[in-house]
Amino acid sequence: MTRLFGTDGVRGLANQTLTAPLAMRLGAAAAQVLTEGRASDDRRPTAIIGRDPRVSGEMLAAAMAAGMASRGVDVLRVGVVPTPGVAFLTDDYGADMGVMISASHNPMPDNGIKFFSAGGHKLPDSVEDEIERTMGQLKPEGPTGTGVGRVIEEAPDAQDRYVNHLANANIMDLSGIKVVVDTANGAASRIAPKVYAAAGAEVIAIYDQPNAYNINDGCGSTHMDKIQEAVRKHEAHLGLAHDGDADRCLAVDAEGNVVDGDQIMAILAVAMRDAGTLRLNTLVATVMSNLGLKLAMQREGIEMVETQVGDRYVLEELNASGYALGGEQSGHIVVPKYGTTGDGTLTGLKLMSQMALTGKSLQELASVMSVLPQVLINVPVSDKSAILASDKVREAKEQAERDLGDTGRVLLRPSGTEELFRVMVEAAAEEDARKVAGQIAAIVAAV
């Protein structure tokens, strides 16, 4: 049986694979699992629901609220807010669980459902598995009368709570910094420009007019060409690009060069080390981070711990070991002191604060790390387990690693959502990376 939950919640084509009846059942099961034992004689369990602006979010949020209320949970709908806003509000309101309806950077027709436990934490695999098992065992009937949960359709102070939280995140005065912000017509369209301007920056917002249908449409962190053009046009000091639910942030320097999540982590890690706030002198990243990040951290005397791909695995390592900074190349940056998940708006604030503190340009700050050429080939396969067990693939990988030495790397991994096997190679020269990746991809395809 295919697992319902993927690497970041449940995702699919809205009204086809991700339907309102499915959302209602999922909401009922999640409410049962995440609020078990939390009710009392004078208090029903509570849940927060937020969403990004895509049209199907209205339908799915309503279905999710109905499912949770049918199991005796009171629901507060907080409207359009970023994913990190829902995580924060789950904790700030003292709710027992939180739900974000969003497909992140995916196209508008897709949607997704992400869950948070009390305190605003993403769920471990074991809890997601329990929710799936509970869905298959749900009884159609639930509590009656006063046992039915309430649904409160509006939380007028929700956005203000989140904005104030960001404003209190130890941010420098950003006066004198001109920034272009691409909010992907998404969940941060109102919040991110407002927060940056309140900190003193001169803000030029683009793709900040969501209409339920234009989220991620040729804009945001997956279409960096738009913000590169805008930064050059407006002669800005930098550009910041978010995705649809604003848990990511990628940047562009004044020359229009992309500064990815690895480079942002390098900048912040060095800054936090110098400030004495990089706990245990360690950065947490995933195995997909560029080898250039590891080499830069070694040069700076900073330890680096790697996890499997997915920001929730970064979060698990941060929480388990007490580290203070982690993230992904894609722009999910987590600073546990200020949030329980990646927060693109906070990342933008921290990046500009370092520019203000040091007086350096983003290009100068990003030079702490040299990005090694990285080639990724997605190979269609029919049996991912056969690839993992193949001696030919293993031998090819080992030989390539010997040939590349300390300035190269090979990473092979199956896709978690598609019938693909990913071949990623880094090398000092792009030509070498392409050659090695092509050779290994051919062997994978022949298995």
CB atoms within 10 A of CB 321: 13
User: Is 390 a residue of the active site?
Assistant: no
Q: Is 137 exposed, middle or buried (0-12, 13-18, 19+ CB in 10 A)?
A: exposed
Q: Which of 104, 117, 189, 221 is catalytic?
A: 104
Q: Is 42 annotated as a binding residue?
A: no
- In the structure encoding, which two tokens stand for residue 274, read together? 């110098």
Q: Is 243 annotated as a binding residue?
A: yes
Q: Is 247 annotated as a binding residue?
A: yes
Residue where the block lists tokens 């982590």: 265
Q: Which of 283, 280, 309, 277 is nearest to 296 (CA)?
A: 283
Q: Is 225 annotated as a binding residue?
A: no
CA distance 204 to 234: 8
CB atoms within 10 A of CB 382: 8
**Residues annotated in the binding site, as ranges?**
104, 243, 245, 247
**Residues annotated in the binding site for Mg(2+), as ranges?**
104, 243, 245, 247
- List active site positions: 104
